[in-house]
Amino acid sequence: MNIIQCYAPTNDDIKDDIKDQFYERLQSVIEKCPRKDLTILMGDLNAKVGIDNTGYENIMGRHGMGQRNENGERFPNLCAFNKLVIGGTIFPLKRIHKATWISPDHTTENQIDHIYINKKFRRTMEDVRTRRGADVASDHHLVVANLKLKLKKNWTSG
């Protein structure tokens, strides 16, 4: 099992070359993960992927939130290339369970924190939602994925 936690540059005032460096580095990390293994990519990706999954039907559902932003264009491309599914777009949930960030004045809600899983393991994902009650000392809400895995015992003789 491979778990990749990351924080992507925001869309605001960040030069494209900095974003390009981030995505190139993330791609190199993903490439080091064996394809046969479960890989989970998660974090504050500052990517609003939206509800329109046209062209990305294989990697995202229609249950995202809002309109796609620039990072929301980059991440689906990265996911499609690496066969990663965007978990927060698959399950039909109320808006309160989708919003991962709320502005300090509580007027803007976005879904910018995500959990991705390789498409091969898509059926193991049972739910992805925010847990608003978790005290994480942040303007972001905790994003939780429920996975149902059948693990094989790895016996070693000693």
Are 93 and 129 contacting, i.e. CB atoms less than 8 angstroms apart? yes
Please name every residue paired with 118 in a beta bridge, in sequence order, or none if there are none. 84
Domain spans, the chain: 2-147
Which of 119, 128, 120 lies closest to 147 in space, CA to CA?
A: 128
- pLDDT at res. 79: 92
CA 55 and chain centroid, separation:
18
Residues linked to residue 44 through DSSP beta bridges, in sequence order:
7, 113
Q: What does each C-alpha distance from 150 to 2, 66, 91, 147, 153 come to in angstroms?
A: 16, 35, 22, 10, 10
Distance CA 71, CA 6 (A): 14
So what's the pLDDT on residue 42? 94
Residues paired with residue 131 on neighbouring β-strands, in sequence order: 142
Per-residue pLDDT of the chain (158 residues; tens, 9 = 90+): 999 999 988 877 677 888 889 999 999 999 999 989 999 999 988 888 888 888 888 988 899 888 888 888 888 899 999 999 999 888 888 888 888 888 888 888 888 889 999 999 999 999 998 888 777 778 788 899 999 988 777 767 76
Q: What is the CATH number of domain 2-147?
A: 3.60.10.10
